[in-house]
Amino acid sequence: MGERQPEGEDIQDALDWARQRLEEMGVFKAQDGLRWAAAHGLVLSVWRNGPIEDAHASRPTSRRKTLHDGTMFARNTWLTRQAFDVLGSDDPFRLYALEDLILDRCMVWPGCGGTLTDFGWGFLGEIKKQVKQRIDMFRHFEKRLPPDDFLLFAGSPRIGTHDDHSGMPKWPACVEAAMRRLRGEDEEFLHAWGDLMTRIGPAPTPVTADLEETRKLLLGAPWELGADNLDWFAWNPILEPPGTTP
């Protein structure tokens, strides 16, 4: 729903549908669940599903750094946290603050060792265009809708996508499951995924050196684990929800 702009009577039908779907995902049972879903929706629509994906899929050049899965993991989780904080602000121009943050070409991305210029070179113009267009669209609806309805609208891009990403309802269970698996306590997981995990290789030493610290960072600030360590987790079944089998 965040990709189109419903008008008139359509908007209430769209919001009712969004509310139902987000409820089915468990969003309203989680602490600040709707604001987290809205933060994810903003990042997905404004940033993730756009030209940055082209940069992510492209080979690095002499000017553009490799934008690997771990870097995207760190960047996306950090931006989602910033969007969550922005949505908790009373500043009427809060979305433009998020726009400035996303498009800052000089700030080193936390956990990544590079800037938007470093990772997005060759796509910077298209990235800027996408971000500004989407922020303007969300600002249009923010002015028209009551606060909770706007969060519903912003959260709608999450519908049909993962509800087990950082900040979403299933994420804590995914992290706890990963900790058990890293300790070798999930025999069902090892039986189902053992061959793949062997091919992926062992977890980086900084991940296993202090599992409680790793647990805390995955729950609250994944980017602080660093992009190289997060690259091991990206697309790794170890973070699958409990009971998931191939």
Query: How many C-beta neighbours within 10 Å does residue 212 have?
Result: 8
User: Which of 114-118, 150-154, 161-165 has the lowest average pLDDT?
Assistant: 161-165
DSSP class of residue 203 equals P
| Of the candidates 90, 91, 102, the residue with the CA atom closest to the CA atom of residue 135 | 102
Residue 235 has a pLDDT of 87
Q: pLDDT at residue 10 above 90?
A: no
Residue 1 has a pLDDT of 46
The alpha-carbon radius of gyration of the chain (Å, integer) is: 19
Going from N- to C-terminal start, the domains of the chain cover 10-158, 171-239
Q: pLDDT at residue 3 above 80?
A: no
Average pLDDT of the segment spanning 54-83? 96
Q: pLDDT at residue 9 above 90?
A: no
**Torsion-angle region of residue 122: left (phi > 0), alpha (psi -120 to 50) or beta?**
left
Identify the band that residue 204 occupies on the pLDDT scale cut at 50, 70 and 90.
very high
0.75 exceeded by pTM: yes
Euclidean distance between CA atoms 122 and 219, whole angstroms? 34
User: Which of 25-39, 79-93, 152-166 has the lowest average pLDDT?
Assistant: 152-166
Residue recorded with tokens 């400035």: 100
Identify the band that residue 68 occupies on the pLDDT scale cut at 50, 70 and 90.
very high
